[in-house]
Amino acid sequence: MSILDNKKISFIGGGNMAQALISGLVGCGIKPNLITVADPSSDAREQLAAKGLNTVDPMADPKSAVIGADIVVLAVKPQMMKVVVGAFADVLDNQLVISVAAGLSTDLLSNMLGGYSNIVRAMPNTPSMIQMGATGLYGTDSISAEQKQLATAVMEASGLVMWVDDEEHMHAVTAVSGSAPAYMFYFIESMVDGAVALGLDKEQASALAMQTMLGAAKMAMNSDDAPAELRRKVTSPNGTTQAAVESMQANEIGRQISEAMQACYARSQALSEEMSK
């Protein structure tokens, strides 16, 4: 039995992230008829309705998706948020509000919602689309213990969930997971190019690089050893792996990764400040 059983969940916005979360929820056993999606696109509503979901045209009836819901997931672009939530803010009544909009602080969201404060801010990443996501969560002091459990359950349907106690740490979440799938894709891209330069065809190189990335991640997750120890164990003295690792160290790849994450962190802070103006 899940804490989400019989809970009514409304998504404001039916884009890729909303559909990823919905797929995870349905895959975990949540009945489609308990999920409502408000989206202005008639084509999107038609596709969602075909999956057994309730749909609402927010242009015609902006409040109906919120009234009676237990959980309201805000899945619209940050630039559109103020206008969208302004149409239904006055009917919020102790619902849990989860926002997946990047850059919008809980204080800013509360202001947009007329002072409503039962808010959880989420930073998911794109692997949520295949239920392999990693999401950071931060909640205001107003949310109850049950609402915290509800937010966890909603986001866990699409992958790993971690809570942070300080909202400023959401910038670090962005740097280590929110934006990080792109780092992994860049690393794979570079490995493929390197393997092709060494004589493999692109199909071979791609398959080997992607499976190696997947296998290494799973091995690290399932091991009691830290990544540094796993690396040490597979690095034979004077062997091929040592040659590769020493080349990376000489080129300060670790420092470059750290600096890239710092750049991501700084940009996340700047975006939040821009949104607050």
Give per-residue pLDDT as tens, 158-179.
Answer: 999 999 999 999 999 999 999 9
- 210 lies in which domain range? 180-270
Judgement on whether residues 163 and 210 belong to the same structural domain of the protein: no
Judgement on whether residues 75 and 141 belong to the same structural domain of the protein: yes
Judgement on whether residues 207 and 149 belong to the same structural domain of the protein: no
Look at residue 74 and tell me if it is in a domain: yes
Give per-residue pLDDT as tens, 56-72.
Answer: 999 999 899 999 999 99
Give per-residue pLDDT as tens, 70-103.
Answer: 999 999 999 899 999 999 999 999 999 999 998 8
Produce one character per residue of 144-168: b if its CB has 16 or more CB atoms within 10 Å, e if not: eeebeebbbbbbbbbbbbeebeeee
Residue 190 C-beta-side C-alpha neighbours within 13 Å: 6
Judgement on whether residues 137 and 207 belong to the same structural domain of the protein: no
Tell me which of 170, 194, 217 is where a domain ends. Answer: 170
Sheet of 54-56: strand order equals 54-56, 35-38, 9-12, 71-74, 96-99, 119-123, 133-139, 159-163
Tell me which of 140, 170, 200 is where a domain ends. Answer: 170
Check if the beta carbon of residue 178 is closer than 8 Å to that of residue 155.
Answer: no
Look at residue 110 and tell me if it is in a domain: yes
pLDDT at 82: 93
Cα–Cα dist 147/97, whole Å: 9
Tell me which of 147, 170, 193 is where a domain ends. Answer: 170
Look at residue 4 and tell me if it is in a domain: no
Judgement on whether residues 36 and 127 belong to the same structural domain of the protein: yes
Look at residue 275 and tell me if it is in a domain: no
Whether pTM exceeds 0.85: yes
Query: Number of folded domains in the chain?
Result: 2
**Beta strand spans in the chain (E):** 9-12, 35-38, 54-56, 71-74, 96-99, 119-123, 133-139, 159-163
Q: Which residues contact 179 (CB under 8 A, 6 or more apart)?
A: 125, 264
Judgement on whether residues 207 and 156 belong to the same structural domain of the protein: no
Residues of the chain short of pLDDT 70, as ranges, are 1
Judgement on whether residues 224 and 93 belong to the same structural domain of the protein: no
**Computed from CA positions of residues 33, 36, 37, 43, in that sequence, does the dihedral angle turn out positive or negative?**
positive
pLDDT at 1: 60
Q: Which residues contact 216 (CB under 8 A, 6 or more apart)?
A: none
pLDDT at 62: 87
CATH number (domain holding residue 250): 1.10.3730.10
Look at residue 230 and tell me if it is in a domain: yes
pLDDT at 277: 76
Look at residue 276 and tell me if it is in a domain: no
Judgement on whether residues 61 and 191 belong to the same structural domain of the protein: no
Helix, strand, coil % (nearest 5) of the chain? Answer: 55, 15, 30
pLDDT at 275: 84
Look at residue 257 and tell me if it is in a domain: yes
Look at residue 244 and tell me if it is in a domain: yes
CATH number (domain holding residue 93): 3.40.50.720
pLDDT at 209: 98
Judgement on whether residues 160 and 188 belong to the same structural domain of the protein: no
**Computed from CA positions of residues 238, 242, 243, 247, in that sequence, does the dihedral angle turn out positive or negative?**
negative
